[in-house]
Amino acid sequence: AEPRLVAVRATPISGRLTLVVLRDITERERVEEMRRDFVANTSHELKTPVGAVSLLSEAIEFAADDPAQVRHFASRLQAEVTRLAALVNRILSLSRLQASDELRDVRDVSIDEVVTAAVEGYAIQADAAQVTVVRGGTKGLWVRGEPQILTEAVGNLVANAIAYSPEGSKVGVGVKLDDTVVEIAVTDRGIGIPESDQHRVFERFYRADQARSRRTGGTGLGLSIVKHAVQRHGGEVRLWSRPDRGSTFTIRLPMSEAPDLEGVRPKPRR
Task: Count other C-beta atoms under 10 Å from residue 263's C-beta.
Answer: 7
Q: Determine the Cα–Cα distance for residues 171 and 267; give it in Å rounded to an integer.
A: 43
Q: Determine the Cα–Cα distance for residues 251 and 226; give it in Å rounded to an integer.
A: 9
- Using DSSP, state whether 25 is helix, strand or coil: strand
Q: Determine the Cα–Cα distance for residues 149 and 232; give it in Å rounded to an integer.
A: 10
Query: Of 240 and 259, which has the nearer Cβ to ligand ADP?
Result: 240
Query: Of 101 and 209, which has the nearer Cβ to ligand ADP?
Result: 209
Residues in the chain: 270
* Span of 68-76, 78-86, 138-146, 186-194 interacting with ligand ADP by CB under 6 A: 186-194
Q: Which residues contact 189 (CB under 8 A, 6 or more apart)?
A: 165, 166, 169, 170, 245, 246
CB of 269 to ligand ADP, least distance (A): 50
Give which of 74, 163, 72, 144 is closest to 105, Cα–Cα: 144
* Span of 34-42, 59-67, 68-76, 213-221 interacting with ligand ADP by CB under 6 A: 213-221
152 binds ligand ADP per the rule CB under 6 A:
no
228 binds ligand ADP per the rule CB under 6 A:
no
143 binds ligand ADP per the rule CB under 6 A:
no
Interface with ligand ADP (CB under 6 A), residue from 158, 201, 229, 230: 201
CB of 239 to ligand ADP, least distance (A): 9
Can you give the binding site for ligand ADP, defined by CB under 6 A? 156, 160-161, 164, 188, 190-193, 201, 206-208, 211, 218-224, 247
